[in-house]
Structure 1
Amino acid sequence: MLLLGIDIGTSSVKVSVVDAATQKTIASAAYPDTESPITSLQLGWAEQSPEMWWQQAQQAIGLCNSTQKYDPKDISAIGIAYQMHGLVLVDKEQKLLRDSIIWCDSRAVELGDKAFDAIGHDVCLSHLLNSPGNFTASKLAWVKKNEPEIYAQIDKIMLPGDYIAMKLTGDITTSISALSEGVFFDFKNNSISKEIINYYGFEESFFPVVKPVFSDHGQVSAAIAAKLGLKAGIPVAYKAGDQPNNALSLNVLNAGEVAATAGTSGVIYGVSDDLTYDPQSRVNTFAHVNYSEEEKRTGVLLCINGTGSMYRWTKNLFGSAVSYQQMNEIANHAPIGCDGLRILPFGNGAERMLNNELVGVHFHHIDLNLHTQAHIFRAVQEGIACAFRYGVDIMRENGMSPTVIRAGKANLFLSDLFAQTFVNATGIPVELYKNDGSVGAALGAGIGAGIFNNPAEAFSNMHPVQLIEPTSKMFEPVYQEWKGLLAQQLNILQNKHPHTVN
């Protein structure tokens, strides 16, 4: 019995076909080869076309099928993972009304801050577990305020994965996990938030039917099945945001377990069984994939917007003639601390962990007679690792004390240098696994379709491929200097607009 996982990423769409009996990946494919475009009409804006995601998903499924390693008709369930917090709007004919305002878009920060003050900090944090910030609810409020002609045509609001499920099945559903990531969910009342609905003036009819994450979200239509070579009626049995799904793919489901990823963005995601929140909303709490009214499992998420995107930018400007693997090899020629070169890697929108400041990327202490390409490549990796350490310390302030972090051996964790620097910076060992988001989505589909009796069965054959432990305390002075430079930059920004500081 085969399972299909679809991962709607910011850079590309990846699909995997997994054998449910062995949990082994039979085939994988991604589309496109180059990174997908992000439209940025103004500073801090970021949009993508949902129709682009759908076309990419179809192409990736076709590429996977073309390997001829399996019969597509043997696929029994589909799971979808997707970039979180994006706003997708459709009318009554399920036609798109505009491009999606995606996760790293910062245009709604001011609206979210006003909602935080108006609704009340205590109410927002105790009921929503977050400030409205620039999450999906505030993005919808931006559309209402600035594009009333579009707002008037809305039938349903969705997240990116909901749109792909709709294209596959014709059905539109959501989940508590999805509602919480949009900051639409009231954890205390276990319902859609009346405070958010009433404050922003949203119509409750905008929200699709709410189903568990692991459940039937519709069946693949006959027309789409014929187009993709699948059987009609296959259930879409799982939908989750990329970070809860990444945690699932690493079997991070129980309180105290922690996952990390360093793709386009960087994330630390820890599971809790408390309705916990950060008073400054620097980290955010959402319903995990296994959240229920009886067992309130939440995911505490720390996000750094620009990790893989920072490394891609570095490659484009300083290493266009070399591969990422060669960049990592070149970086090894520079010493720890890069002879004083420090980089702040915050150039992909407002950073929630920095109180929604637009810090930007900053290079410090460049010596034109000393620093080389190797220094640049290593300093970027060190700067990203320092950003992770800064975030881990915020997680520690909020009661998370990880003794080990699980991560997929992908993206920046493919670099042995970055992985070791991450571990030395945080002081926390890392277990690396081969699973990725599309594999996690496939296994999630198996859970949702009842092919696995429980999540533990879905990961019974999963084992780490590498354990990385701290080897040196030499990085601590590097981090402390980096932290001081960040504090200086934040002081400059906060003196410009002190009202933004919580």
Structure 2
Amino acid sequence: MIDKIEHTLLLGIDVGTSSIKVSVVDAETQRSVASATFPENTEREIKSPKPDWAEQSPEQWWSDVKAAIKQTQSINTYNPENIVAIGITYQMHGLVIVDKEKNVLRDSIIWCDSRTEKQAEKGLQAIGEEKALSHLLNFPGNFTASKLAWVKHNEPQVYEKIDKFMLPGDYIAMKLTGEITSTISMLSEGVFWDFKNKELSKDILSAYDFDESVFPETKALFGVHGNVTKEIAKELNIPAEIPVTYKAGDQPNNALSLNVFEPGEIAATAGTSGVIYAVADDLVYDKLSRINTFAHVNHTNENNRLGVLLCINGTGISNRWIKNMVDEKLSYQEINELASTIEIGSEGLLFLPFGNGTERMLCNKHVGAGFSEINFNIHNKAHLFRAVQEGIAFSFRYGLDIMRENGMQTKVVKAGKANMFLSKVFTHAFVNTTGLTVELYNTDGSVGAALGAGIGLGIFEKPQDAFSKLELLETIEPDEESVKKYEAIYRKWKSRLNEELV
């Protein structure tokens, strides 16, 4: 048996779309001493009872969180009594609603749901495009505000029972502590926050006729959001009364995990969805709302720290789809190896990865996914795997060009060595298509959430101190020959996409 760690420990919970990951982190070494993913060998489904709908069960998230915590304890490498705080990160923009007894009223409408077009348009018309962008930094779109409006319009009997609404991470914190709280960051990602007036948006409340009573109390992101109840502490074998001291959406948290706090710094992730996330200090917005701006983890009303976010819905989910369609028994490592046997460009095969709802960077159009230029005499499954990964990289380039139009000039991007960045094919295509140097680090969202809890508890003097021991694993730079090859292929890919956008 490995000797148990007796240092100060922090518990991080990552509520993902596919699974829950939990890490226990030593505050002194900033390293994980135990981690677990649940479910381990499968991925939670996204329910789609109607076209463009995407829902998941909050109760399933909670069940999986408990299972993952218990799984970390089963390997017996740490003493749960040494856990002093909990941090939570979560899939952004989801809607969870509960009644006065804190019972969930319906499945969560999650981030990639696209049903809210009418509600979004109503909100935009009521507020006005210029005012919406200059105050909210976003159009209403398919964010949490429009999802709550959809429930109000389409399920009034459910809406009438709502005591509080929240985002996925707030729900897990509620289950741990019995408390429901919000943050400026959470309100901004739901498009409820007025950045100019520095308050809950009166325009959103008016446009959708929301009662302010359904909004949780707003607290500092790094701070106490409740304490674990005795009942839950006993069930999970963790100390009672330890606080939840950090909650943040997955993309702000990914940036935090990579020590990205200040203007000009940039982070990326390529999980179920793909994101480039740049920190700015002014009120940045795109005139077409193709990229989105939210309050970063260290944003305050006195000191702007904003996350400018490009999101691509069809990233890792595209990779998973092609794996399962061709041979679900293959591992991701195996499909990466097969993809690497094919030359750059997949011998002419092109793939558009837009099959996971409307894409904001395409002005909320539903292009769909698909292959083109298929040659039955040339292309095999290895070509399919490579074309999918290259198509995902091309979509990053397309979005990055939009960010550059809006002033982003950074040349280096930080990412955790995980998900799509485990593939050399994808990483090489990403680097040489975007022209960005990628630094890959040994971290993930659950570790970042744990260290965020340490910041919230005051263990670290300033946020950056929590990542002083962040480990750089690899740096990948563009090479001139590959850049030229990919540029030619990207132009063909972009032309194909433009045909779909007409």
- Structure 1 length normalisation: TM-score? 0.97
After superposition, what is the alpha-carbon deviation per residue over 1:402-456, rounded to whole angstroms, capped at 9, x for unaligned? 1100000000000111111100010000000011000000000000011111112
In the alignment, which residue of structure 1 is the partner of 2:499?
Answer: 488
Question: What is the count of residue pairs matched by the alignment?
Answer: 491
Q: What is the CA–CA distance in structure 2 between the aligned matches of 1:39 and 1:321, rounded to whole Å?
A: 23
In the alignment, which residue of structure 1 is the partner of 2:5?
Answer: none
Q: Which among 283, 303, 312 is matched to residue 275 of structure 1?
A: 283
Q: Counterpart amino acid of 2:163?
A: D
Q: Counterpart amino acid of 1:489?
A: E
Q: What is the CA–CA distance in structure 1 between the aligned matches of 2:134 and 2:196, rounded to whole Å?
A: 8
Q: Per-residue deviation at 1:293?
A: 1.0
Q: What is the CA–CA distance in structure 1 between the aligned matches of 2:12 and 2:183, rounded to whole Å?
A: 18
| 2:472 alignment partner, SS class | coil
In the alignment, which residue of structure 2 is the partner of 1:87?
Answer: 95
Report the aligned-residue RMSD.
Answer: 0.7
In the alignment, which residue of structure 2 is the partner of 1:377?
Answer: 385
Q: What is the CA–CA distance in structure 1 between the aligned matches of 2:230 and 2:332, rounded to whole Å?
A: 42
In the alignment, which residue of structure 2 is the partner of 1:305?
Answer: 313
Q: Per-residue deviation at 1:387?
A: 0.2
Q: What is the CA–CA distance in structure 1 between the aligned matches of 2:228 and 2:404, rounded to whole Å?
A: 44
| Structure 1 unmatched runs, 5+ | 492-502
In the alignment, which residue of structure 2 is the partner of 1:337?
Answer: 345
In the alignment, which residue of structure 2 is the partner of 1:19?
Answer: 26
1:33-432 equivalences under 5 Å are 33=40, 34-432=42-440
After superposition, what is the alpha-carbon deviation per residue over 1:156-212, rounded to whole angstroms, capped at 9, x for unaligned? 010000000000000000000000000000001111000000110000001111011
Q: Which among 12, 29, 34 is matched to residue 36 of structure 2?
A: 29
In the alignment, which residue of structure 1 is the partner of 2:487?
Answer: 476
After superposition, what is the alpha-carbon deviation per residue over 1:49-73, rounded to whole angstroms, capped at 9, x for unaligned? 0000000000000000111100011
**Alpha-carbon contact 2:122-2:207 (below 8 Å) kept:** no
Q: What is the CA–CA distance in structure 1 between the aligned matches of 2:272 and 2:445, rounded to whole Å?
A: 13
After superposition, what is the alpha-carbon deviation per residue over 1:361-415, rounded to whole angstroms, capped at 9, x for unaligned? 0110100011011110100000000000001101101111111000000000001
The question of 1:439 aligning with 2:450 is answered no
Q: What is the CA–CA distance in structure 2 between the aligned matches of 1:140 and 1:286, rounded to whole Å?
A: 19
- Structure 2 length normalisation: TM-score? 0.97
Q: What is the CA–CA distance in structure 2 between the aligned matches of 1:485 and 1:110, rounded to whole Å?
A: 29
Q: Per-residue deviation at 1:319?
A: 2.9
Aligned-residue identity in percent = 62
After superposition, what is the alpha-carbon deviation per residue over 1:79-105, rounded to whole angstroms, capped at 9, x for unaligned? 000000000000111111100000000
Q: What is the CA–CA distance in structure 2 between the aligned matches of 1:2 and 1:113, rounded to whole Å?
A: 47
| 2:115 alignment partner, SS class | coil
Q: Counterpart amino acid of 2:248?
A: A
Q: Per-residue deviation at 1:120?
A: 0.4
**Alpha-carbon contact 1:407-1:430 (below 8 Å) kept:** yes
**Alpha-carbon contact 1:287-1:297 (below 8 Å) kept:** yes
Q: Per-residue deviation at 1:318?
A: 1.2
**Alpha-carbon contact 1:319-1:327 (below 8 Å) kept:** no
**Alpha-carbon contact 1:112-1:134 (below 8 Å) kept:** yes
| 1:41 alignment partner, SS class | coil
Q: Per-residue deviation at 1:113?
A: 2.1
Q: Per-residue deviation at 1:463?
A: 2.9
- Shifted more, 319-328 versus 196-205: the winner is 319-328
**Alpha-carbon contact 2:411-2:435 (below 8 Å) kept:** no
Q: What is the CA–CA distance in structure 1 between the aligned matches of 2:358 and 2:210, rounded to whole Å?
A: 25
| Structure 2 unmatched runs, 5+ | 1-7
**Alpha-carbon contact 2:89-2:446 (below 8 Å) kept:** yes
After superposition, what is the alpha-carbon deviation per residue over 1:279-312, rounded to whole angstroms, capped at 9, x for unaligned? 0000000000000011110000000001110000
Q: What is the CA–CA distance in structure 2 between the aligned matches of 1:436 and 1:30, rounded to whole Å?
A: 12
Q: Counterpart amino acid of 1:293?
A: N
In the alignment, which residue of structure 1 is the partner of 2:4?
Answer: none
Q: Counterpart amino acid of 2:23?
A: S
Q: Counterpart amino acid of 2:201?
A: S
| 1:406 alignment partner, SS class | strand
In the alignment, which residue of structure 2 is the partner of 1:497?
Answer: none
Q: What is the CA–CA distance in structure 1 between the aligned matches of 2:117 and 2:266, rounded to whole Å?
A: 28
Moved over 2 A (4+): none
Q: Counterpart amino acid of 1:32?
A: P
Q: Counterpart amino acid of 2:30?
A: Q
Q: Per-residue deviation at 1:114?
A: 2.6
Q: Per-residue deviation at 1:321?
A: 3.3
In the alignment, which residue of structure 2 is the partner of 1:496?
Answer: none
Q: What is the CA–CA distance in structure 1 between the aligned matches of 2:304 and 2:113, rounded to whole Å?
A: 29
